[in-house]
Amino acid sequence: MCGICGIFDQYGNPIDREVLDRMTNILGHRGPDGQGFFVHEGVGLGHRRLSIIDVEGGTQPISNEDENLQIVFNGEIYNFIELRNELINAGHKFKTRSDTEVIVHAYEQWGTDCLNRFNGIFAFAIYDTRRQEILLARDHLGVKPLYYINLGHRIIFASEIKSLIQDPHCPREVDLEALGELFTFRYVPSPKTLFKGIFKLPPGHLMVLTKSTIRTE
């Protein structure tokens, strides 16, 4: 188990590093073995790591060869060795033996179609510095959590809601309709949560954040 979080400002405004630090640090129980950050124009990614695969070399965020793709990842890709060998044969060069880096190169090779190749449980964010967009994705069964909120031109996301509310602009109002669903069904159906404006990315879904659009499929 790891913890991921991020901020995407569609206007390209500077990231509040203090907020990103708080968002990341509160996920420390999910990843006690280390933390990492990536900050660029209008983008901030945070990661708390539980070391399992490639303990020495798998520190996140991880990039591709050209460092134009950056990823924070929570989960495990069970078939990453097979995919890694296929990507090496296609000419990709790896600097770690982690399943995280396999996701980066798979996205580089196949785009969002890479999601159909993964056998595993995952929630991740990939930032493409050339396209200036973020891909968020969640595994087919929704084992790994991913929450988000749209604060106008700024979208924040994280493995847990407690990370989102570290941002002082994130509302903390209970969604009474969702509360009724909790009492009725004993859970809150996706994409709702118990907080107004805060949503779950549904299982088997991806979201693409660009400077002008937000697309979910």
Q: Say whether 2 is catalytic.
A: yes
The distance from CA 202 to its chain's CA centroid, rounded to whole angstroms, is 13
Do 192 and 175 form a contact (C-beta atoms < 8 A)? Answer: yes
Q: How far apart are CA 65 and CA 58, in angstroms?
A: 15
Cis ω for the linkage preceding 203 (within 30 of 0): no
Q: How far apart are CA 125 and CA 134, in angstroms?
A: 7
Do 123 and 139 form a contact (C-beta atoms < 8 A)? Answer: yes
Catalytic residue numbers read 2
